[in-house]
Amino acid sequence: MEIKILGSGCAKCKKLEELAREAVHELGVQANVTHVTDMNAIMAYPILSTPALVINEQLKTSGRLPRKEEIVIWLKEATN
């Protein structure tokens, strides 16, 4: 599973990465979590603001900090 955190490295972006890693650990799934800070790479996705979360190249959220429970649900959906 490929998880990308899109954002400049602000506090919310770092928190989203932390939540994503916690969710991966909680589920015990194999995932590669990367934090994308390059603006050209970020702009390749249909987002208006950061932070954003992409799971297996599907945009799940942008412009807000989701709860860990939401991320867990998205990860479960991605493994089915």
Q: Which residues does the annotation mark as catalytic?
A: 10, 13
| Paired tokens of 55 | 């799971």
Q: Please state, in angstroms and rounded to a whole number, the distance separating the CA atoms of residues 8 and 11.
A: 9
| Beta carbons of 55 and 1 less than 8 angstroms apart | yes
- 20: number of Cβ within 10 Å: 25
